[in-house]
Structure formats: C-alpha cells, structure tokens
Structure 1
Amino acid sequence: MRPTAPIPADPEAWNAYLAEGNAKQARKRVAADVLLQDAEGRILLVNPTYKPGWDLPGGMAEKNEPPEQTVARELGEELDLEITLGGLLVVDWVPPHGPWDDQIAFIFDGGTLTQAKISDLRPHDPELSDIALVTPEEARARLQGRIGRRFTAAMDALVTGRPAYLRDGVSVA
C-alpha cells in the first residue's frame, strides 16, 4: 500500500515529499540555438571543433539555465556577440542517441545582424574553427541530419509566424 502524501500545510514534509519525486524524475539535456541573418537574408553558421559539420550558433544549457540565457551566454563566449532575441521558432524533442539521453532543442529568432556586427564577427573560443554567412540553400546543404531538418522548420516558422514542434527534426502537427 502506498503511503499518503503529506499536505501542503506541513511545509517541511511537503517539500521532502516533492524533493523525493523530483529526484526520481527524468532530467532533460537542453540545447538552444539562434537563427541569425544579414540584410541579404544570408544565415550565420558556425563550424564547431568538437563535432563534424556546421551548426547554428548556440549550444548546451548549463544546469538550471533557461534556453534564452543559453543562447546569450554561448553567443558571448563563442562570438563575442550580444543580440536581442526575437521569438521562439522551434522546439525539438530529440530521442536518445549514441551515448546521449534525450534532449529538448530550441531555436530562437536572432533577427538581422547589422553590417557593423558582421564585420567584427570571428570565433572567440576554441570550440569554433570558423564562421560563415551563407544563403538559406547553402545552409540547408551544410546542416546535416536533425539540425538540417530543424533549420528548415525554423525558416518555415519565420514565414508563418508560428513556432514548430518537432520530434527528432520531424513536425508533430
């Protein structure tokens, strides 16, 4: 027989009960990227040194870090770039793969970079070997697998004004 839960009127017992449940629940890894364009509609891509292929700027959240703060931190660390984020474009649940548990991946709209910001762009962190401004078509060719599918959904969300929910890069509509 399962013991009854304490009541919220007993804060110490209630918090202990909630902490026990929290300790048993799944922990999700969180990734947050940003879609940045120039005035010509070219997309900013980064080339990470720790994995093959090109990617959107962003990265993995630190413990208890909100996704939008992840993007701001990663842009600052890797590109010495500060921007104001627009809306959410994509949420993608990524199933376990390789040695990794599942994760939630976000893409935010970073808007349009000014020419002044673009002229100062370069990798500021050894995690990046290069950056590139490419057409959306070239971005689709460089972004492989689920990140490519996520990018396509983000571009569609810019047009429709509606964020996309994906499962492993595939729309769940």
Structure 2
Amino acid sequence: MRPTPADPAAWNAYLAEGNAKQARKRVAADVLLRDPVGRILAVNPTYKDGWDLPGGMVEANEPPHSAAVRELREELGLDVALRGLLVVDWVAPHGPWDDQISFIFDAGVTSVGGRLEPHDDELSEAAFLPASEVRGLVRDRLRRRLDAALLALDDGRTRYLHDGAPLW
C-alpha cells in the first residue's frame, strides 16, 4: 500500500525514493556581457579546447542565474546584475557526458573594458572581442547558442534550442 501525507515519515521516504530514481541533469549557466562599443566578453578555459562565454557549471541545488553571477565573481572578479534570459539549450549526451541544460543570461553592458585578468587557474585569458571574432574562437555548439543569444538580444524573445538548433 502506498503511503499518504497522513504519515509524514513514510510519505517523505516514498517521495525520496521516487526522487532518487529521477534523472539528474548537468546544468551550465553562461552570460552575454558587452562593453560600451558592443564587444562580447569571451574567456579561454585551461581545461578544454576553444574559447567560451563566461560562466560555468551550476552546483547542486543552486539556481542557474545565481551560478552565472557566482562564476563571474570567482573567475574574473566581476559583479554583474542579470537583465534576463536569452537562451535555453538542451544538449544531447555526447562523449562520456549525459545530457545537459545550458542557459545564457543577458548581463548587459559594463564599463570594464579591454583584457581582464582571470582570478583562478580555470581561465588563461579573458577579453572583450567583436562578435565575429568570438564566433571564430568557440566550438560549433556554442557558436549556434551565441548566435541565438544575439538574436534574442535583438528582438527580446528568448530562444529554446535542441542541441544548438532552434525548435521554433
């Protein structure tokens, strides 16, 4: 017989068992941060090939938007205020990795310009670059996500992607 909320201990044990069987998703949260002339902040990670947008992996029980803010503070010493959500991308399993949900948030425009000094060993460099240059430095999947983020920034409509491709 299935427990009911009338027996809180049994009910919580039942719910915990169901929770343990449900899928866990990896979640990444990046930002699109621009300088006053429209260049995009890009970072060069030390742990993988290609450049990236600033941000990173969400920790357990951490909201994605909080992770994006935390990652910029930890890696670059920047405090940003997010202005909205630009992209959600479901990334299919690849290599040794399960699927993932990736977010890109709009971090607006900052007066910090030029090159930034990374604050930890996860990044070798960070710079504000023209969008065309960033597109040439990032991997294909991120390039498609960046393009969608720029479109969302232009028309104010959040994009939902399936492995980098728009569904609608």
Q: Please, what TM-score do these two structures have when normalized by structure 2?
A: 0.96
Partner of 2:51: 54
In structure 2, what residue type is equivalent to 1:164?
A: R
Partner of 1:105: 102
> 1:92 Cα deviation (Å)?
0.5
Partner of 2:64: 67
The alignment's C-alpha RMSD in Å is 1.2
Partner of 2:133: 138
Partner of 1:159: 154
The 2-side partners of 1:5 and 1:111 are apart by: 50
Give 2:165's match in structure 1, choosing from 139, 152, 170: 170
- SS at 2:23's partner residue? coil
Partner of 2:120: 125
The 2-side partners of 1:112 and 1:24 are apart by: 42
Of 9-18 and 99-108, deviating more is 9-18
> 1:5 Cα deviation (Å)?
2.8
> 1:67 Cα deviation (Å)?
0.5
Partner of 2:34: 37
The 1-side partners of 2:137 and 2:114 are apart by: 22
The 1-side partners of 2:2 and 2:89 are apart by: 34
> 1:19 Cα deviation (Å)?
0.4
- 1:1-46 CA deviation, whole Å, 9 max, x = no partner? xxx4322222222111110000001110110000000111100100
The 2-side partners of 1:7 and 1:145 are apart by: 49
Q: Does 1:87 align with 2:84?
A: yes
- SS at 1:99's partner residue? coil
Q: Retained in 1: the 8 A contact 2:116–2:127?
A: no
The 2-side partners of 1:118 and 1:67 are apart by: 26
> 1:121 Cα deviation (Å)?
2.6
Unmatched 5+ stretches in structure 1: none
The 2-side partners of 1:69 and 1:48 are apart by: 20
Q: Does 1:147 align with 2:142?
A: yes
- SS at 1:155's partner residue? helix
Q: Which runs of 4+ in 1 moved over 6 A?
A: none
> 1:137 Cα deviation (Å)?
1.4
The 2-side partners of 1:132 and 1:120 are apart by: 4
The 1-side partners of 2:113 and 2:164 are apart by: 29
Question: What percent of counterpart residues are identical?
Answer: 63
In structure 1, what residue type is equivalent to 2:102?
A: A
